[in-house]
């Protein structure tokens, strides 16, 4: 089992699963409640973002995150970011793999073939969701990411594992408002 200690963490001992702890020090325009593992954004133009304190190394463990959307109308973005952490606006350009839900649509993204960002859409479509919907991203030790809605596989990445090597964390942003609720991780699934 392998995991990294983030320099912003208070404790050097990290459990491999549980509720996400969002970093307050590196967040922007985010309302964070680590008692309920939620992050909410009220600023527009995707300027709000937050990353998890928990990290995993691709290839060492299977990394999974689950989350529920915080709003039904505006964009809720949840996924994996990759170190080094240097987001800019729009914050979703920093996400490697993510699910974006807005209105009656859901979009699934991955990095381009050479591993660079911003990510490209690999699947999308009209698909009902609400505040009880559970989204999940799972990165296998090979780097393949599978994306789920309520336990049903919706998209699978196809980027070569050679360009994906690195350290990942949960990353969230929102459009105008939005966010992630009840966010969990399992970095040894």
> Which pTM value belongs to this model?
0.87
- 189 vs 68, residue with greater confidence: 68
* pLDDT at position 78: 92
* pLDDT at position 64: 96
Task: Please report which confidence band the pLDDT of residue 8 belongs to, taking 50, 70 and 90 as the band edges.
Answer: very low
* Span 16-60, pLDDT tens digits: 899 999 999 888 888 899 888 888 887 666 778 899 999 999 989
**Residue 116 pLDDT greater than 50, yes or no:** yes
**What's the average model confidence in pLDDT over 104-118?**
89
Question: For residues 43 and 74, is the Cβ–Cβ distance under 8 A?
Answer: no
Task: Please give the Cα distance from 137 to 101 (Å, whole number).
Answer: 14
Burial call 42-57: b when 16+ CB within 10 Å, e when fewer: eeeebbbbbbbbbbbb
Task: Please report which confidence band the pLDDT of residue 94 belongs to, taking 50, 70 and 90 as the band edges.
Answer: confident
- Give the CATH number of domain 17-186: 2.60.120.200
- Give residues with Cβ within 8 angstroms of 182, minimum separation 6: 36, 37, 38, 66, 67, 68
């Amino acid at each position: 089992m392998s995991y990294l200690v983030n320099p912003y963490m208070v404790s050097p001992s990290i459990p491999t699963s549980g509720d996400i702890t969002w970093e307050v020090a590196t967040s922007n325009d985010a309302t964070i409640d680590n008692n309920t593992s939620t992050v909410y954004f009220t600023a527009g133009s995707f300027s709000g973002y937050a990353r998890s304190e928990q990290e995993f190394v691709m290839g060492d463990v299977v990394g999974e995150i689950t989350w529920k959307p915080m709003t039904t109308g505006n964009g809720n973005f949840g996924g994996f970011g990759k170190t080094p952490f240097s987001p800019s606006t729009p914050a979703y350009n920093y996400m490697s793999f993510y699910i974006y839900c807005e209105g009656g649509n859901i979009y699934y993204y991955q990095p381009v073939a050479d591993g660079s960002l911003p990510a490209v859409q690999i699947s999308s479509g009209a698909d009902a969701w609400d505040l009880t919907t559970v989204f999940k991203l799972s990165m296998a030790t090979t780097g393949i990411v599978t994306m789920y809605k309520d336990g049903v596989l919706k998209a699978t990445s196809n980027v070569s594992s050679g360009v994906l090597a690195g350290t990942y964390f949960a990353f969230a942003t929102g459009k105008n408002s939005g966010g992630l609720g009840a966010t969990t991780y399992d970095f040894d699934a």
